[in-house]
Amino acid sequence: MNYYINVILPIPLQKLFTYKITEAEATFLNKGMRVAVEFGKSKVYTALVYKIHNEPPIGYEAKDIHQILDETPIVNEFQLKHWEWIANYYMCSLGEVYRAALPSAFLLESETVIQLLQNFSNENILSNEEFLVFEALQHQSQLSIQQIIEIIGKKTIFPIIKDLIRKNVITVKEQIYEQYKPKLIKYIHLKGEWSTSSKLNELLESLSRAKKQRDVVLSYFQLQATKKPIKVLELQKKSNCSAAIIKSLVDKGIFEYYFLQTDRINFTGNTSEIKELTKHQQIAYNEIKKTFKTKQTTLLKGITSSGKTEIYVKLIKDLLKEGKQVLYLLPEIALTTQLIERLQYYFGEYLSVFHSKYSMNERVEVWNNVLNSKQKAQLILGARSSLFLPFSNLKLIIVDEEHEPSFKQYDPAPRYHARDASIVLAKMHHANVLLGSATPSIESYYNAKQGKYGFVELNRRFGDVLLPEIELVDIKEKYRKKRMKGHFSDRLIQMITEALEYKEQVILFQNRRGYAPFVECETCGTSPQCPQCDVSLTFHNYKNELRCHYCGYRQAMPHNCSACGSEKLNTKGFGTEQIEMELEELFPTAKIGRMDLDTTRGKYGYQKILGKFQAKEIDILVGTQMLSKGLDFANVSLVGILNADHMLNFPDFRAHERSYQLMVQVSGRAGRVKKRGKVAIQTFNPFHQILQQVSTNSFEEMYKEQIDERWQYHYPPFFRLIKITLRDKDYNRVDEAANWLGKSLTAIFKENVLGPSIPSISRVRNYYIRTIIVKIPQKNSLTATKKHLMRVKNTFQAIKEFRAIRFNIDVDNY
Ligand code: ADP
Ligand code: ZN
Ligand code: ZN
């Protein structure tokens, strides 16, 4: 009998590849375990076993696997089923989902490069094979996995690399891969033979003149009374003795060290009782529970600061008691320490956080804890990718701020929407989903109205604080009357002055999009462009340089115009940095902080700034989008939006919806606890319907208008959209290809094809871009549409000149 496996390779391959295994391997291997295999031109990949069977593949000879990498499955059936749905729905390969789902430490690859660690010299501890690698690294600064295979002359090299890493000989260079090393903690215990009381007395007797050693033994017994394993460090502290003294007792054979693996994500500290819900919160909570009996998904529309989080907390509490798993999804950026702290406070040892800013090791740890249904991973708080964790007992998924665009992954594939994918995941687990927002997305609100989702509303702020008073400031008028100082109207200046007088804090919001400051030549009007993209470079005052926000290109600020040589270069537009500078002039005694992509890099970037703001070390905080999300500060009484027009005029069918959401969310940061807050929105167009709706808090009206437009112009939720993007370095070729594709699609989908069009940023990193959108009416089968689309794609890629063109499909691209 021959044995074969089908595996998922972490690459965009439509079919599952087959490998041959031995009978012994067949008894050991299971679905969901990883194997190292060779694919293509002797490249080695970490593949996932999908199926074990006896059918040889048709059309090629199955290769042997290199080795088995796991002892037990690291991926479960729920996940595989969910991945299949994602691959299918979002039109990508299972391999792409696999790649996105696993922490990259699980995906060792042949492109991985290793390097020698500087200070290693003890060659004696190396095996012969290890030495070969070590020696090769004396001549060559780095080696790829492939080269190591050649040096050693065999393919099962992963254990050798692992050992070399463990022995601190080498390190993995690529960021993609960090060796997973469980963190070990040193513990200590008394050796068995001393545990009888007679032996013990003898011991203490013998130490009567070694006072310090005696102290150690006595402290040990005091610690032992707590019945917990004793850390060496604890013992040291308790006995007030040095490590050397403890070691001398170990050397005498009285104590013994041992090591335990610990999680590096350890929340200690005390937890507290959850808050008692107010009457209105309790009603909402009861209603949610009730809807869950008949609806899988419920939308909770609760105004800002109504206490949605407290309701989530209550729901979570119930389920943790029952031993169930809960996933709490947040938009990436909102993973503020504020919420983590709040949940930690309630759930302490039950909570794990899964986040892209965490290290590889931390992520592997969370993965393993979820896989093994550990208590400390019963509640997972994370961004969209935590959807891929190996849950087996999931009972509730909370999608907080469900309207947030960052739940959608744009690049690379899988281009999934975490809210939608979580509803499917929940179905597989027979779990519920709670979507929460003060400003639900049009789609979710529509689904709730249609009865597809349960619907619960919470219209009172905690403490009955009123929603902020919103004032629209007409800056066209202000400019005309010369009542503007820089970008600030006299009215906004007055409001800030008042807030500062009362020692209250101010948040100023500056939408980033389109407001990046750029440089313009006063003489000829030219602005410096990115050499690789079709955009103007952004001016960064702080480093006095120009940067491209699309590809990262940077250059020093030039002294004269590259077109005409003039030295008269002006900076235009206004970014957060410029606002900060203007504020410093207007309010010289105020402390000003800035929160944007530049000031929040690194794991603790946000934390630092928000911590300062919380501690009132900052009076005025200027920031971008990030400020709108979930922040809860008691002392903020004023929120200013510097210019509302640009977001309203953004060319996208969602621009109005998004502007409404953004402005309401930012406004929601004002006056959350004590007294009613104020909001000033500066605009050239105070009669714009969206601004009117924001200022009167008319979500319903906004929704009605938007849904009418969606209906009229064939947009979601009435039509689904699939966007195709072509990219190529050759302008003419991509143009020709886009025309070909447009024609072929129009032949099938008729008037439901938009484009090909040239996007407003038509070249990025030297790739020219064309897009086509296919609209799918509700009555049409999505499956059939996708089939047609795949057929066209295959024909497209069979055309020789088009083969190299990048072809991306994005389902529900909004
Ligand atoms: P939302 O998530 O709806 O914006 P939060 O849950 O952040 O609102 O609540 C706003 C503020 O009110 C928080 O500071 C929170 O601690 C407080 N709060 C809400 N509900 C209660 C309650 N039942 N008891 C005590 N404080 C509450
Ligand atoms: Zn010029
Ligand atoms: Zn660029």
Token pair in block for residue 60: 């090629």
Cα separation, 613 vs 609, whole angstroms? 6
Q: Decide whether any atom of ligand 1 lies within 6 Å of the 281 Cβ.
A: yes
* Two structure tokens written together for 498: 């008042």
Distance 484 CA to ligand 2 centre (A): 29
Rounded Cα gap, residues 139 and 563, in angstroms: 49
Q: Cα separation of 399 and 298, whole Å? A: 10
If you take atom 5 of ligand 1, which residue's CA is the nearest one? Answer: 307
| 8 Å CB contact between 468 and 676 | yes
Cα 216 to Cα 240: distance, rounded to the nearest angstrom = 8
The CA-atom distances, in angstroms, between 763 and each of 129, 326, 724, 806 are 49, 43, 16, 13
Q: Decide: 285 in ligand 1 pocket, CB within 6 A.
A: no
Helices of type H across 587-650:
605-614, 645-648
Q: Do residues 129 and 152 lie in contact, with contact meaning Cβ atoms separated by under 8 Å?
A: yes
Q: Please state the atom number of ligand 1 nearest to the C-alpha of residue 634.
A: 14
Considering every ligand atom shown, identify the ligand nearest to the alpha carbon of residue 460 and give its number.
1
Q: Is the CB of 277 under 6 A from ligand 1?
A: yes
d(CA 667, CA 314): 26
Is 29 in contact with 15 (CB distance < 8 Å)?
A: no
Q: By the 8 A CB rule, do 805 and 726 touch?
A: yes
Rounded to two decimals, what is the model's pTM? 0.79
Q: How far apart are CA 482 and CA 107, in angstroms?
A: 61
Report whether 457 contacts 321 (CB < 8 A): no
Task: From 305, 346, 402, 456, give the residue whose CB has the most ligand 1 atoms within 8 Å, as the site to mutate.
Answer: 305
Residue 299 CA to ligand 1 center (angstroms) comes to: 18
Give the pair of three-digit tokens for residue 599: 């000031």
SS3 813: coil
Q: 304 in ligand 1 pocket by Cβ < 6 Å?
A: yes
Cα angle at 30 between 110 and 14, to 5 degrees? 55
Q: Say if residue 657 is exposed, middle or buried (CB neighbours under 10 Å; 0-12, 13-18, 19+).
A: buried
Least confident of 194-208, 580-594, 786-800: 194-208
272 vs 767: which has the higher pLDDT: 767
CB atoms within 10 A of CB 698: 16
> Contact at 8 Å (CB) between 435 and 428?
no
d(CA 329, CA 400): 6
Q: Is the CB of 309 under 6 A from ligand 1?
A: yes
Q: Is the pLDDT of residue 573 over 90?
A: no
Percent pLDDT > 70 in the chain is: 92
Q: Is the CB of 384 under 6 A from ligand 1?
A: no
CA distance readout (Å), 658 to 378, 426, 449, 678:
34, 27, 20, 21
Name residue, tokens 């309630």. 346
Q: What is the DSSP string of 764-778?
A: ETTEEEEEEEEEEET
Task: Name the percent of the chain lying above pLDDT 90.
Answer: 48
Q: What is the mean pLDDT of the chain?
A: 87
Question: What digits encode the pLDDT tens for the residues 288-326?
Answer: 999 999 999 999 999 988 999 999 999 999 999 999 999
Calculate how far, in angstroms, residue 609's C-alpha sits from the geometric centre of ligand 1.
22
Phi/psi at 183 (nearest 5 deg)? -80, 130
- Around Cβ 140, how many Cβ atoms within 10 Å? 12
What is the Cα Rg of the chain in Å? 31
CA 558 to centroid of ligand 2, rounded, Å: 12
Is residue 356 predicted with pLDDT exceeding 80?
A: no
User: How many C-beta atoms surround the C-beta of residue 737 within 10 A?
Assistant: 22
Q: Locate tokens 């060779």: which residue?
A: 38
Write the residue with the smallest CA distance to atom 14 of ligand 1.
632
Q: Which helix (H) or strand (E) holds 49?
A: strand 43-53
Nearest atom (ligand 1) to Cα of 311: 6
Flag whether pLDDT at 592 surpasses 90. yes
Ligand nearest to the CA of 567: 2
- When mean pLDDT is compared across 404-408, 579-583, 603-607, the lowest value belongs to 603-607
Give, for ligand 1, the residue of 281, 285, 300, 310 to mutate: max count of ligand atoms closer than 8 Å to Cβ.
310
Paired strand residues for 722:
774, 811
pLDDT category at 52 given cuts 50, 70, 90 is very high
Is the pLDDT assigned to residue 192 strictly greater than 80? no
614 within ligand 1 shell (Cβ under 6 A): no
Tokens linked to 627: 């400020």
Long-range contacts, 234-238 (Cβ 8 Å, 24+): 235/188
Q: Which ligand is nearest to the CA of 339?
A: 1
Q: What length does the chain have?
A: 814
What's the pLDDT band for 704 if we cut at 50, 70, 90?
very high
Query: Is residue 462 within 6 Å of ligand 1 at its C-beta?
Result: yes
pLDDT at 797: 93
Which H helix or E strand runs over 642?
Answer: none
Bridge partners of 47? 35
Residue 310 Cα to ligand 1 midpoint, Å, equals 6
Mean pLDDT of 260-287: 75
449 alpha carbon – ligand 3 mean position (Å) = 44
Measured CA to CA, the distance from residue 454 to residue 460 in angstroms comes to 20
Q: What is the pLDDT of residue 174?
A: 46
Nearest alpha carbon, ligand 1 atom 4? 305
Choice from 304, 330, 404, 462 to test ligand 1 binding pocket (greatest atom count within 8 A of CB):
462
On the question of pLDDT at 42 being above 80, the answer is no
For the Cβ of 628 lying below 6 angstroms from any atom of ligand 1, the answer is: no
In the three-class reduction of DSSP (H, G, I as helix; E, B as strand; rest coil), residue 685 is classed as coil
Residue 218: band (very low, low, confident or very high) from pLDDT cuts 50, 70, 90 = confident
535 Cα: distance to centroid of ligand 3 (angstroms): 7
Nearest CA owner, ligand 1 atom 19:
307
Give which of 572, 545, 548, 547 is closest to 559, Cα–Cα. Answer: 545
Please give the number of the atom of ligand 1 that sits closest to the Cα of 277.
23
Query: What is the rounded average pLDDT of the residues 726-748?
Result: 95
Q: In the numeric block, which tokens belong to residue 431? A: 């779990």
* Ligand 2 centre distance from Cα of residue 569 (Å): 8
Going by their DSSP bridges, the two strands 170-172 and 113-116 should be labelled as: antiparallel
The closest of 35, 46, 42 to 4, measured between CA atoms, is 35
Structure tokens at 483: 């009542």
Given pLDDT bands bounded at 50, 70 and 90, which one contains residue 516?
low
Whose atoms come closest to the Cα of 345: which ligand? 1
Q: Band of the pLDDT at 732, cuts 50, 70, 90?
A: very high
Cβ(598)–Cβ(542) under 8 Å? Answer: yes
- pLDDT at position 64 is 92
| Residue 554 CA to ligand 2 centre (angstroms) | 20
Name the closest ligand to CA 273. Answer: 1
Query: How many CA atoms, within 13 angstroms, populate the side-chain half-sphere of residue 171?
Result: 7
Q: Which residue has the higher pLDDT, 446 or 239?
A: 446
Name the residue with tokens 């001016």: 539
What is the CA(615)–ligand 1 centre distance, in A?
19
Q: What is the dihedral of CA 776, 777, 782, 785, to 10 degrees?
A: -50
Is the distance from the beta carbon of residue 307 to the nearest atom of ligand 1 less than 6 Å?
Answer: yes
- Residue 340 in contact with residue 632, Cβ under 8 Å? no
β-pair type (432-437, 394-400): parallel
Q: How far is the CA of 681 from the centre of ligand 3 (A)?
A: 32
- Spatial separation of the C-alpha atoms in residues 733 and 412, rounded to whole Å: 23
Q: How confident is the model at residue 630 (pLDDT cuts 50, 70, 90)?
A: low
For residue 334, how far is its CA from the centre of ligand 1 (angstroms)?
17
236 in contact with ligand 1, CB cutoff 6 A: no
439 lines ligand 1 (CB under 6 A): no
From 78, 810, 75, select the one nearest 397 (Cα to Cα): 78
What's the confidence (pLDDT) of residue 8? Answer: 96
Phi, psi angle pair for 683, to nearest 5°: -155, 155
Candidate from 277, 281, 309, 467 with most ligand 1 atoms within 8 A of CB, to mutate: 309
Look-up of token digits 């190529």: 728
Nearest ligand to the CA atom of 528: 2
The structure tokens listed for 232 are: 């060496």
What sign has the CA pseudo-torsion 422, 813, 595, 508? negative
For the ranges 48-57, 104-113, 342-351, which has the lowest average pLDDT? 104-113
Q: Which atom of ligand 1 is nearest to the CA of 303?
A: 3
Give the best-scoring range by mean pLDDT among 10-14, 174-178, 341-345, 490-494. Answer: 490-494
Looking at residue 183, what is its pLDDT? 59
Sign of CA dihedral 328, 331, 335, 341: negative
| Nearest CA-CA partner of 748 in 774, 767, 770 | 774
265-269 long-range contacts, Cβ below 8 Å, gap at least 24?
Answer: 265/352, 265/353, 265/358, 265/362, 265/365, 265/366, 267/344, 267/348, 267/349, 267/351, 268/348, 269/344, 269/348
Ligand nearest to the CA of 307: 1
563 CA from centroid of ligand 3 (Å): 19
Alpha carbon 44 to chain centroid, angstroms:
28
Ligand 1 closest atom vs CA 342: 16
Integer Cα distance of 618 and 612 in angstroms: 6
- CB-CB contact of 649 with 656 (8 Å): no
Atom 26 in ligand 1: which residue has the minimum CA distance? Answer: 275
Model confidence at 51: pLDDT above 60: yes
The atom number, within ligand 1, closest to the CA of 630 reads 4
DSSP tag of 177? -
In short, whether 308's Cβ falls inside 6 Å of ligand 1 is yes
State whether the beta carbon of 93 lies less than 6 angstroms from ligand 1: no
Separation CA 734–CA 807 (nearest Å): 10
Give the residue among 252, 233, 234 at the shortest CA–CA distance from 193: 252
Least confident residue range of 370-384, 435-449, 557-571, 703-717 = 557-571
- Name the closest ligand to CA 569: 2
Atom 18 of ligand 1: nearest residue by CA position: 307
Q: Is 202 helix (H, G, I), strand (E, B) or coil?
A: helix
Which has the closest alpha carbon to 705: 717, 696, 693, 716?
Answer: 693
CA 463 to ligand 1: nearest atom: 12
- Ligand 3 centroid to 769 CA: how many Å? 14
Distance, in Å, from the CA atom of 102 to the CA atom of 123, rounded to the nearest integer, reads: 35
Please list the residues that pair with 156 across neighbouring strands. none
Model confidence at 632: pLDDT above 80: no
Residue range 241-270, pLDDT digits in tens: 888 888 888 888 888 888 776 554 454 555
pLDDT tens digits along 457-504? 999 988 888 888 999 999 999 999 999 998 899 999 999 999 999 999
3-state SS assignment for residue 529 = strand
